[in-house]
Amino acid sequence: MSGAIRFLLGNRLIEASDFDPQLTVLDWLRKNRHTGTKEGCAEGDCGACTVVVGDLAGDEIRYRSFNACIQLLATLDGRQLIIVEDLAQAGLHPVQQAMVDHHGSQCGFCTPGFVMSLFALYHENRPPGEQGIGRRQIDEGLAGNLCRCTGYAPIVRAARQALSVPADDHFSQAREQTVASLKQIQPTECLELEYENRSFFAPRSLDELCVLLAQHPDAVMVAGATDVGLWITKQLRVIDTLIYTANVTELQTLAIDKQSACLEIGAAVSYTDAMGALTDVYPDFRPLLARLGAVQVRNAGTIGGNIANGSPIGDMPPPLIALDARLVLRGIHGQRTLDLEEFFIEYGRQDLRPGECVEKILLPLPSAGQQFRAYKLCKRFDQDISAVCAAFALTLDKGTVASIRICYGGMAGVPARAREAESTLHGQSWTQAGLDGAMSALERDFEPISDWRASSEYRMIAAQNLLQRFFLETTRDEPVHLQAGAAT
């Protein structure tokens, strides 16, 4: 054995060593008799295991919710883990009291997870007062927590009560002390853990990462573990070498590069962190991002991961390809840049060489007059995987299509552009008649499969109709789709 991690559990310092790097936070908690945190699905889809992790952000602490079932214990190095048992001190925490007051629990099994999601919302910046938090904000904050008993109505009432006052609890009161404690345990160099034949590395620089990749070409890179976590919990895979990328400074880049007129998104930037920058640049990105996974998944998962795993149904590649994003790959021998769409060769195969990693995504800033929309279709509005995801970027020149890029997920083995449809539209006037031709052309672009998410037939009709929707939304003033969340 070598190496150890240090983290705060509530306010207690924990030093953990000699553990399997594949050990999840949930299994560690339950093995240590912290049984308040429950396993509901072991794949990050039900939220029963929700915990909150506090991260140092300057002299503040940023509290975010995570699914403990697929979060690796080793990733807690230098952080604060808060679990349901930590909340009540002299009496119940305000979010707990609100849940009791509004009969927000029935069987109680999902309740600790809801309590922790509410706790994360409680510590989010929000305006005070009854009107401070809107229903959609509550729904987004709770979309990763399933409850089968209550029908959510009492939990929403509890959320309104608890979130109508500014955060004032023993965590906010102990902030300075916790900040000081966290500062003392911040990692400064590459973490290395060894356990039996398994190893875990958490490099801090891109150079370190590249060296490790060269030394361990079969290593699995992991950031949020929203995918790799399931290899462990469901497939029972044994991963000899894990390299954790989220501590690599360069991979956390999130900035506009004026020279290239691009938003640069480091591969390990979480969806949550990217959301602000992406929606600043492309406000129409937000509805899709807000429905990608749920808050726990967006806090952990990364845009780089969503690309690098090559899934045909990831929600990030279609909009990024439609917006002509490029990908920067990095290995020990240097850097190369390619169009994002070229990265996806075929189902299960990406243009990623041994020892290479995704370094960053280069997203061009919008050109003048460009119109952009991204839509996803699934059985459930929130936290579902797309049957079809569609993204459109259009520039008109006096009513004529100067440029259009259309990219779909769920229509082929990889996220793919609809080139036939694009060429049908290119240079033509943006009219219903022109659109009809493009909708037919989609049948030459794609032969989607049938599976549990949708039939081939539905996928095709829906893909065509999403193009129709885009046309309607670019030619009318009002949205032509159902609005998120509760209607009024």
Please say whether the beta carbons of 31 and 5 come within 8 A: no
Listed ranges 10-18, 230-238, 298-306, 407-415: which one lies at the site for another protein (CB under 8 A): 230-238
Q: In whole angstroms, what is the distance from residue 140 CA to residue 304 CA?
A: 23
Q: What is the DSSP string of 202-239?
A: E-SSHHHHHHHHHH-TTPEEESS-TTHHHHHHTS----
Judged by CB under 8 A, which stretch of 176-184, 299-307, 431-439, 479-487 contacts another protein? 479-487
Which stretch, 85-93, 357-365, 393-401, 410-418, contacts another protein (CB under 8 A)?
A: 85-93
Which H/E stretch holds residue 100? Answer: helix 94-101
Per CB under 8 A, contacts with another protein among 340-379 are 377-379
Sequence-distant (≥ 6) Cβ neighbours of residue 303 within 8 angstroms: 265, 267, 269, 271, 274, 316, 361
Structure tokens at 162: 């608890």
Nearest to 382 by CA among 142, 163, 149: 142
Q: Is 458 in the site for another protein (CB under 8 A)?
A: yes
Q: Does 43 bind another protein (CB under 8 A)?
A: yes
Site for another protein contains 82 (CB under 8 A): no
**Site residues for another protein, window 188-217 (CB under 8 A)?**
none
C-alpha–C-alpha distance, residues 3 and 193, integer Å: 5
Residue span binding another protein (CB under 8 A) among the ranges 4-12, 80-88, 391-399, 435-443: 80-88
Site string for another protein, 126-155 (x = CB under 8 A): ---------xx-xxx-xx-xxxxxxxxxxx
CA dihedral 253, 254, 257, 261 (to 10 degrees): 130
Interface with another protein, residue 234, by CB under 8 A: yes
Phi, psi of 14 (to 5 degrees): -115, 130
Site string for another protein, 384-403 (x = CB under 8 A): xx-x----------------
Sheet of 262-266, strands arranged across: 254-257, 262-266, 357-364, 326-331, 334-339
- Asked if 468 is part of the footprint of another protein (rule: CB under 8 A), the reply reads yes
Nearer to another protein, 403 or 455 (CB): 455
Q: Of 4, 14, 41, 275, which one interacts with another protein (CB under 8 A)?
A: 41
Part of the chain binding another protein (CB under 8 A), chosen from 32-40, 169-177, 216-224, 424-432: 32-40
236 binds another protein (CB under 8 A): yes
Number of residues that bind another protein (CB under 8 A): 88
For the bound state, the minimum distance from the C-beta of residue 254 to another protein, rounded and expressed in Å, comes to: 28
According to CB under 8 A, which residues from 101 to 120 bind another protein? 103-112, 115
**What's the chain's length in residues?**
488
Pick one of 17, 35, 260, 423: the residue that binds another protein (CB under 8 A): 35
32 binds another protein (CB under 8 A): no
CB 150 to another protein: min, Å: 5
Which residue from 380, 398, 433, 477 is in contact with another protein, where contact means CB under 8 A?
Answer: 380
Q: Does the footprint of another protein cover residue 488 (CB under 8 A)?
A: yes
Neighbours of 30 (CB within 10 A): 17
User: Which tokens in the block code for residue 348?
Assistant: 């299960």
Question: Residue 222 has which token pair?
Answer: 């992991």
